[in-house]
């Protein structure tokens, strides 16, 4: 993963901690982990943003699903102790007819069971598009999850640009206003990482269909504002656009040029 990142001009990346559809994780190869850590130090990588499986739902109505989610998260966090100081991003979940109240309660319960004081990984709640019964579309819901979690010094937020726009926060027209709102409701000190995706749909659509940078409703100016923003430019930024490796290399080069950086 580290070598592939270097190949495309990246100095951070996301990775799935196990099959994104769920299931068991492969056993850790300690030599491989050591080599990655070496590459990261040598090339000045920023923090990595591991991604939990999509099927993980801490607030499902099905207790077995909740049980899997808690076990998977606990297991992933244990494994990530081999790569200390990085991030673990997850989708708060879908409450499926139980209501957001109950959803938030279950998410907090899960986090209270799984987070371990002093762990080396910060867990990030991803801002969601609000598709179906997704919890975490509004900054208020994310704030309530943080407030309801005992060891919330271990929690942060990963802002997905497609999701927040789809969720009704108009970052394309007024990034500043959205960041001010984020700061008021959650606190900008909680913002730890960004998913950079353009959106196939207009603000408020709640669809969650990612588009390549500059080709969607957010547009290139929005991304220029993001990579130039003093509050954001040092955060790890991860692309989840529909692309291949060459496409990602081009997007990274584009974002670096918008930020006024050469390729490092």
Interface ranges with Fe ion (CB under 5 A): 126, 160, 195
Considering the complex, state which of residue 134 and residue 208 has its C-beta at the smaller distance from Zn ion.
Answer: 208
The yes-or-no answer on residue 51 being catalytic is: yes
200 contact, one of Zn ion, Fe ion, none, CB 5-8 Å limit per kind: none
Q: Report the DSSP beta bridge partners of residue 237.
A: 194
CB of 227 to Zn ion, least distance (A): 20
By the rule CB under 5 A, 208 interacts with Zn ion: yes
The yes-or-no answer on residue 208 being catalytic is: yes
251 contact, one of Zn ion, Fe ion, none, CB 5-8 Å limit per kind: none
Alpha carbons 221 and 1: distance in angstroms, whole number: 30
Q: Which helix (H) or strand (E) holds 145?
A: helix 139-147
Considering the complex, state which of residue 198 and residue 208 has its C-beta at the smaller distance from Zn ion.
Answer: 208
The yes-or-no answer on residue 240 being catalytic is: yes
CB of 131 to Zn ion, least distance (A): 9
Considering the complex, state which of residue 83 and residue 160 has its C-beta at the smaller distance from Zn ion.
Answer: 160
Contact between 246 and 207 under an 8 Å Cβ cutoff? The reply is: no
Query: Which is catalytic among the residues 3, 21, 117, 244?
Result: 21
The yes-or-no answer on residue 54 being catalytic is: yes
The yes-or-no answer on residue 81 being catalytic is: no
**Which CA distances in Å does 109 have to 58, 71, 224?**
9, 13, 39
CB of 164 to Zn ion, least distance (A): 11
Q: Please, what sign has the CA dihedral across residues 25, 211, 263, 179?
A: negative
For residue 93, the number of C-alpha atoms closer than 13 Å in the C-beta half-sphere is: 31
Alpha carbons 240 and 262: distance in angstroms, whole number: 22
208 contact, one of Zn ion, Fe ion, none, CB 5-8 Å limit per kind: Zn ion
Per residue in 171-209, is it b (16+ CB within 10 Å) or e — as a string? bbeebeebbeebeeebeeebbbbbbbbbbbbebebbebb
Query: Which is catalytic among the residues 18, 91, 144, 190?
Result: 91
DSSP for residue 154: G
Query: Which is catalytic among the residues 54, 140, 176, 228?
Result: 54
Q: What positions carry a catalytic annotation?
A: 21, 51, 54, 91, 126, 160, 163, 195, 208, 210, 240
């Amino acid at each position: 993963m580290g070598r592939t990142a270097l190949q495309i001009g990246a100095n951070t990346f996301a990775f799935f901690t196990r099959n994104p559809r769920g299931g068991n994780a492969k056993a850790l190869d300690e030599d491989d982990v050591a080599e990655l850590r070496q590459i990261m130090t040598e090339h000045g990588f920023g923090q990595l943003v591991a991604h939990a499986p999509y099927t993980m739902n801490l607030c499902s109505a099905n207790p077995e699903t909740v049980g899997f989610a808690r076990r998977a998260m606990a297991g992933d966090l244990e494994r990530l102790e081999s790569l200390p100081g990085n991030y673990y991003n997850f989708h708060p979940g879908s409450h499926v007819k139980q209501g957001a109240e109950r959803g938030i309660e279950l998410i907090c319960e899960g986090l209270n069971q799984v987070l371990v004081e002093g762990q080396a990984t910060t867990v990030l709640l991803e801002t969601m598009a609000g598709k179906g019964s997704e919890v975490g579309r509004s900054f208020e819901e994310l704030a309530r999850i943080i407030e309801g979690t005992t060891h919330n010094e271990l929690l942060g937020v990963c802002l997905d640009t497609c999701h927040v726009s789809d969720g009704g926060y108009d970052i394309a027209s007024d990034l500043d206003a959205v960041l001010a709102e984020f700061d008021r409701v959650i606190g900008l000190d909680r913002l730890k990482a960004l998913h950079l995706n353009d959106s196939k749909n207009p603000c408020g659509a709640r669809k969650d269909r990612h588009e390549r940078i500059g080709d969607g409703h957010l547009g290139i100016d929005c991304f220029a504002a993001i990579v130039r923003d003093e509050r954001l430019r040092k955060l790890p930024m991860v692309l989840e656009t529909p692309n291949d490796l060459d496409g990602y290399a081009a997007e990274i080069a584009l974002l670096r040029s918008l930020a006024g950086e050469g390729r490092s």
